[in-house]
Chain A
Amino acid sequence: MSTNIKNHIRRLRFESGDITQEALARQCGVTRQTIISLEAGKYTPSLELAFRLAHAFKVGVDDVFEWQGITETDSRTAKA
């Protein structure tokens, strides 16, 4: 379930005054385990959650998430 979308949640948490995973989870209405999975790059959030995260950090969605582009695996899948 690893994704092509990289996120900067961990960095933003520290830059925003050491927000804990628990506090961020409360702000976004998700469980702390989801924040952990997001930071580990194991889970791709819904568009709504992406906006909630961006709102929590008071930045744009682009500042939180970064698309890594099409990987070699994706290209093979698309061709097949």
Chain B
Amino acid sequence: MKLPSIRVLFLDGLALVLLYMLFLSPDLPKEAHLGVWGNLIILAAIWGALYAWVKVRKVANDTRSLGEQLAGISFFFMVVVAAFFFWRLHQLGWQTSLADHHTRAIGRNVVMMLIGFYIVRYIITQQHRALLGTGGEAMEDERDSEISVRAGAHSHLFLIFAIIVLIVQLGFGGNVFEQYATPVNIAHWLIGILTLSCVVEYGSAMWQYHHINAE
């Protein structure tokens, strides 16, 4: 499939901006090598998602609703964010200061992944709107809403369960657990739980779409 030149230019421009922000941004520490793999994952995730979607967008728009496409993209990004976060969690340490370069590099990577995620979502939504704009077909309907509500409920259940587990561990974990339960570390765990709850939400939506589409 031949890509329209304006889209290629846009993707190239986006990649350059991301490269600048990730590697040449003035506040990057000298020990930036710690973030190289994370940065590569970000770029690969954003670029891969956009490129793959551009390649299959016609088929995707014919066979999948916008809600289903977004659920898939969101699940993909959240899995990448969660995997990166938990992979790097040990590097955050138990007594990390937020002023620490390594911590900030990891935090920046996670934030960049989330920004990339919203850019991809925005592009897909706008493209879908442009395609349907002339036809007058709905972008989302009651089926998408029902799936979204159920997925949100599953995510909520997971969140409650995980928070209860954390509370019980903090309350009854004993001395072994207490040495890890620093304020910053608890914040990291909560971020991890929130990220996983997003994975559960989008995973549930994907599963429901798959189930409803299954022959």
Contact = CB atoms under 8 A, between A and B. Distances in A.
Given A30-B143, A31-B65, A31-B144, A37 B213 contact: yes
A31 B137 contact: yes
B136 interface: yes
Interface residues of A, number: 19
Interface in B115-141: 135-141
Contact of B142 (A22, A42, A49): A49
A33 B64 contact: yes
In this complex, the interface size class of chain B, counting residues with CB under 8 Å from chain A, is 20 to 34
Contacts, number: 51
A43 interface: yes
A31 B66 contact: yes
A22 B143 contact: no
B137 A26 contact: yes
Given A26-B135, A31-B66, A33-B68, A42 B212 contact: yes
Interface of B: 63-66, 68, 135-144, 211-215
